A and B are shown apart, each in its own frame.
Chain A
Amino acid sequence: DVKVTQSSRYLVKRTGEKVFLECVQDMDHENMFWYRQDPGLGLRLIYFSYDVKMKEKGDIPEGYSVSREKKERFSLILESASTNQTSMYLCASSFSGANTGELFFGEGSRLTVL
């Protein structure tokens, strides 16, 4: 079974703190994704990585950065957390290429910024 593991299910941080969200997958997938999910807004793509050290901005990259130093690990970084970044963050992975459309998701990390 494909497993995508996110390091924290729940986090509470203060405004201005630096926040790291970690994601690890064990299926040797080339692609990894970070989405945020808010009620009524669906899943919005923050960043996408299609290979080690390769990244592409999604629809809402402002206030976020990412790191992919190893194939299995994709980190989302909030340099200075703000209250409007309170959300559910979902990591996903997939094989490279456009011919399956299948992502495997982690359980999510619910971040609250006070």
Chain B
Amino acid sequence: GQSLEQPSEVTAVEGAIVQINCTYQTSGFYGLSWYQQHDGGAPTFLSYNGLDGLEETGRFSSFLSRSDSYGYLLLQELQMKDSASYFCAATSSNTGKLIFGQGTTLQVKP
């Protein structure tokens, strides 16, 4: 089977740093993506890790460890607008098929 596990909820204060973890089990694995979704909106792509290590894009960073079947999304200098759901997704075939986790709801408080 294929599954991705992430925490259901995370709360943090404005200006803080938060890490959202994701562990995965897939029959084939090519890389890990992260998506953001605001209430009522469509998911939007944040980052992709095809290789082990850290990828940085502005305030957001994403990390992958293939040996641990684990990744995380790191959000720095949190802003109120970062309150949203965050999904990890595994590319599970060489055609680009994506399987998503259940999502983590991040609430940023003043």
Of the candidates B32, B50, B96, the one whose C-beta lies within 8 Å of that of A31 is B96
CA distance A35 to B35 in the complex (A): 14
How long is the Cα–Cα vector from A6 to B42 in the complex, in angstroms? 12
Which of A42, A48, A96 has most B Cβ within 10 Å?
Answer: A42
For A33, the chain B residues whose CB sits under 8 A away are 97-98
Q: Interface residues of A, CB < 8 Å — how many?
A: 29
Most buried by B among A97, A100, A101: A101
A99 contact set on B, CB distance < 8 A: 30-31, 50
Number of residues of chain B lying within 8 A (CB) of chain A: 28
Find B96's partner among A41, A94, A105 (CB 8 Å cutoff): A94
Q: Which residues does chain A contribute within 8 Å of B33, judged by CB atoms?
A: 101-103
**Interface contact B31-A98, CB-CB below 8 Å:** yes
Q: A50-B95, A99-B30 are in contact. Are A40 and B8 (CB under 8 A)?
A: yes
B83 at interface by CB-CB < 8 Å: no
B95 touches A96 (CB 8 A): yes
Q: Identify which of B44, B94, B102, B103 contacts A98 (C-beta below 8 A).
A: B94
Query: Could you say which residues of chain A place their CB within 8 Å of the CB of B45?
Result: 101-104
In the assembled complex, A28 has its CB within 8 A of some CB on chain B: no
